A and B are shown apart, each in its own frame.
Chain A
Amino acid sequence: MWQELRSELHPRGLEIVTVALDIEGPSAAREFVDAAHAEHPSLIDERHLVDELFGVVNVPNGVWIDEDGMIVRPAEPAFPGRNPVMESFRSLDVSTLPPDLANIMVEVKKIQTDPEGYLAMVLDWVEHGSASRYVLSPAEVIARSQPRSTDEAAAAAHFELGEHLHRAGRIEAAQAHWRQAHRLQPENWTYKRQAWNLVSPVVQGPTDIYESCWIEDVKKIGAENYYPSVVP
């Protein structure tokens, strides 16, 4: 999805670094990287370090870092001008799907994204550098990053413990910590979707293990709010 943009913009001083947030590791992510023939760094983050480091609460998210190593836009929904996944979903006839998948796709189709708007911001940054109106001051970058009080920080600690336990094969203990992470930071879709996907792949549907599931939580907030609008 990003290689095309990278080919165009790398000669103009922009490098793209993708990071797959995936407890299941390279086996889950590599086929996408290979299929894309990625020429840019394509990293794997099994421990979800990036979530905590940059305040990522959903995917895909983009962070802008300038030539001096300063973050100039914090984590926000990011698409490379096209959203091919969404495009394929939009043209899907849900009546051909089994009911649980059809219900999910009804919600997915309501999700709002602005790939063209995001691309325009990136192009402006490449063109104008620090003079781009989309480049934010350090104070603004911090202020716009996800809120983090004790609850959100504790959610990260519980998620990390869960990953450690899951890796050690202590699945039920891991799930208990992930339930707590979900309670402490309900707006963190990454913590939810990763945990749900391990027990209910793709549909992330209802289970006895977790208190909720993708479609329930999306309906609660409204699918149009799934990705907050990007504020230039």
Chain B
Amino acid sequence: MYKDLTQEGGPQLGRRAFLKVSALAGGGLAMSASFPVAAHAAAGEAASAQLNAFVTISPDNVITIVGKNPEIGQGIKTMLPMLIAEELDADWDQVQIVQGHTDAAKYGPQIAGGSFATPMNWIPMRQTGAAARAMLLGAASARWGVPMAELTTEPSVVVHRASGRRATYGELASDAALLPVPATDAVQLKNASDFRIIGRAIGGIDSPRIVRGEGIFGVDTQLPGMVYAAYERAPVFGAKLVSADVAAAKAAPGVIDAFVIEGNGKADELVDGVAVIARNWWLANKARERLNPQWDNGEWAGHSTAKYDADARAAMAAGNPQEVFASKGDVDAALASAAQVIEGEYAYPFLAHVAMEPMNCTALLHENGVMEMWAPSQLPQAGQMAVAQYLGVSPDKVKVNITRMGGGFGRRLNNDYMVQVAAIARRMPGTPVQLIWSREDDVRSDFYRPAGWHKLRAGLDADGKIVGLEDHFVTFDINGGAFNPAAMPADEFPAKFVPNLRYGQTKMRTAVPMGALRAPTSNAVAFVFQSFLDEVAHATGRDLPTLLLDILEGAEPEGTVMGFTGPQAGFDPRRVRAVTRKVMEMANWGQPVAEGHALGFGYYYSHQGYFAEVVEASLDARRQVVVHNVWCAGDVGAHIINPHGAMNQVEGSIIDGIGQALQLAVEIEGGAVKQSNFHNYQLPRMPMTPTIHAEFVLSDNPPTGLGEPALPPVIPALTNALFALTGKRVRSLPIDTSLFA
């Protein structure tokens, strides 16, 4: 068996940790969560004791906590263990964190996406820590013959105040491990006023290793005898392989093998291609040049962004959407009798994810038939199932180690690279294979943020109140699975607050694969609706924050609703008001700004987070957009679990959104993606970074996620600032600065 150097038991953890895990491996690791494992101390010397699937304590008081979710830079490998450590009342300085392998039975869902981790784990992870603490109290109670109620804890120490007795967790752990694990819902959680770890700014747990250049990302996986694979696939989406000169690639320097792989027709699993294997990836990738592949592009080569744009605009001009997905009242009558009707069209492009670490995955087919994988995947459990299905084996024959990822942004919710490398490794039993995509492969084989087009009409009464609202949304007919990123929510704001409504859509056919990009749907429709509402505000002599507060006047909180992951707090207008007023105050909204500068406002509610943002922008001498300041007020509940990670997500989201607004688009030409690398897909760089002033508004709600909700409102805040500055309305993204010439 090979060891994954990035994970549990790797030599980089240091000698002590290594010995400890070796001892555990003698009996502990494979056992179920509820089975006490202190028994393996029979080996002789005192060994570590595992209290549950997440918590192991060594005799010298080192607490090892499993981070179960994949780390893509959202800080989850630090944050989930903080929740456990808090309720365990652990001394954080003596906590070490290891990445959990893919194991749904042991760890529950392991997901990096949807900003779900915080709401899904806020209670369960704390209960896990509290249950372990209860076992330690139980062990002390038995040892000292005192009632549990008389015991308390200080970080990593159980204390009996009456007698002054103290014992470290390490001293109690092996006894504690023999006790029954309490039911998670039977344990008592701390009052927030007693938190010692939640709310502390804690640096990323892997950061010290990263600044030293240690190899802890997926693509850094190194196994003895490993070979490298490149994969040639069709540039045109939906194309099938006709032929390729496999022999020529095989004859290239350093190439070990090359073979055709037949796809299964599903972009998110396996497309037709040719695998080239070499002792060095650069050699494998270079040998692709000799393949001369011929593709059958079918009908798809005729598809282009220009065609989609023309078709969408024709559909909007024709009216009548194919289907109406939200309707109430009589919108036609409301528009016909309105004192004023505002119309606006908006469009936004396909976008790529371009995580810094290109897609890759490592696989090894063991002699016993187990396919072991080292997968940088945001959904490793789904990847395990997809690979098992492709190989025709049961999921227990696919072992998926979770690696740290150089970014995700939603790209790694799809596991196509996992199936691809499994298809290669199955042909090379006993040889570890690392598949790496070039940046060009990554840009041109993505699951893109869907492009979209909207034609909106709002009817206003004499008081400026919206009495009718209509949107004709032109999108794509895609199989989006459980989550369709090309769909728009039926309750898209301000749907609930207007009496007459019709949201309809027309879907175009395409072979372009699409998927979730950070703040999916929201990252696009926030621009559309907050821009359109800005138009409504200007038409009625108000500013957008005032219009927003007017729309919500008298609105009541929704109460509990069913969300994607279960019951959650419904939309709460009070939280909108609070962040709106807060950001207006922070930005001195309404006060004069520097000559040649203007402010714009944007608000959005997504992923259970409420964000209001103000952008200060100007145009430089070349009439290019300069963003000077961004103020941001966000409400994600009562606690900011790790202020470091939280603020980092907010800052990153804001700059990400500005980059999308200013300079990012994927264009389709001849059925393929025109862009290919960072010279023509230009991410934000340091000089364009504005000063960001972000604050959290705490509200009496359970904390929710921060990977996404700060992004959507910055885009309309910027375009609305440009309207205030120039009187020109940005109607399509990215912003075409010739508008301001």
The answer to whether A and B interact is no
Interface residues of B (CB under 8 A from A): none
Interface residues of A (CB under 8 A from B): none
